[in-house]
Amino acid sequence: MFYIGCHLSVSGGYLHMAKEAASIGANTFQYFTRNPRGFSSKEPSPEDVAGMVKFIEENGFHAPLAHAPYTYNPASKDAHIREYTAEAMAKELRFLESIPGALYNFHPGCHVGQGIEAGVGFIADMLNAIVLPGQNTTVLLETMAGKGSEIGSRFEELREIIDRVDEDKRTKIGVCLDTCHVSDAGYDIAADPDAVFTEFDKTVGLERLRAIHTNDSKNPVGAHKDRHEKIGDGYLGIEAFRRLVNHEAIRHLPFYLETPCDLEGYAGEIALLKEMRQEI
Ligand code: FE
Ligand code: FE
Ligand code: ZN
């Protein structure tokens, strides 16, 4: 099964999002758990969420990917920001228990001058504080572009965070690989995906990889910029995506577009990726 979706707005509710995804040919979707700029939104209604769960089961969807707001920073040197982040994420994780198989993606954070080592420690501490061994949701660390003091642009940093999570919670931790970000970070996923997945497997383990953010990049390999481009219009190029949607290391995973597109643009990119996908 080819699971393909895009980023949608949660503002119309959960069931609405699932129906919107279906209407553009998607069979999964991603959404921000809250407005990315951090304004608080009203609590989702249990009926709406239950309606979405029923809809995605009946329509053979992969469970949706919830994306934490960019305002969270578990690696901050400010204890108040770390506490705020941990509380907000814990609350979101409790809510996600009502969605079977849910994925929850977050940016590991920025160490803002205190160094990667300190930041990595704070991120692992937070995961140990908020992840419950028996929970249903898998928490995903996103691979980052390495802009500013971002942690998680090197696979070794993700490995270090995961290693510091308590053993009984580690099975609930995974990785979401963003194709724009890894290219920006210096991994040439367009030219040599085999080498990048081999490197990932050696460092983190492919079994940790749970989702793919499917974006072209406005900048060349190693640029550390994090500017997403439409599929085929950037430095990765259309042939890279043909290889990626069919690559044996990741073809079973859900793919999520986060390209600069409106709904119609997403429908076109989903159709394009489906056309390039070869079923085996
Ligand atoms: Fe992200
Ligand atoms: Fe992403
Ligand atoms: Zn990005």
Residues 6+ apart with CB under 8 A from 244: 179, 189, 193, 212, 214, 250
The reported pLDDT for the residue numbered 196 is: 98
Residue 203 CA to ligand 3 center (angstroms) comes to: 22
Residue 227 CA to ligand 2 center (angstroms) comes to: 10
Could you read off the pLDDT tens digit of each residue along the chain, which spans 280 residues?
999 999 999 989 999 999 999 999 999 999 998 755 444 556 788 999 999 999 999 999 999 999 999 999 999 999 999 999 999 999 999 999 999 999 999 999 999 999 999 999 999 999 999 999 999 999 999 999 999 999 999 999 999 999 999 999 999 999 999 999 999 999 999 999 999 999 999 999 999 999 999 999 999 999 999 999 999 999 999 999 999 999 999 999 999 999 999 999 999 999 999 999 998 8
Residue 65 CA to ligand 2 center (angstroms) comes to: 11
SS3 state at 199: helix
The reported pLDDT for the residue numbered 39 is: 46
Residue 105 CA to ligand 3 center (angstroms) comes to: 12
Q: Report which bound ligand comes closest to the CA of 217.
A: 3
Q: Report which bound ligand comes closest to the CA of 229.
A: 3
Residue 50 CA to ligand 3 center (angstroms) comes to: 30
Q: Report which bound ligand comes closest to the CA of 178.
A: 2
Domain boundaries, the chain: 4-276
Residue 51 CA to ligand 3 center (angstroms) comes to: 30
Q: Report which bound ligand comes closest to the CA of 258.
A: 2
Helix, strand, coil percent content, the chain, rounded in steps of 5: 40, 15, 45
Could you identify the residue written with the tokens 């643009």?
265
Residue 280 CA to ligand 1 center (angstroms) comes to: 30
The reported pLDDT for the residue numbered 34 is: 76
The reported pLDDT for the residue numbered 111 is: 96
Residue 72 CA to ligand 2 center (angstroms) comes to: 15
Q: 4-276 is classed in which CATH architecture?
A: Alpha-Beta Barrel (3.20)
Residue 150 CA to ligand 1 center (angstroms) comes to: 12
CB atoms within 10 A of CB 166: 11
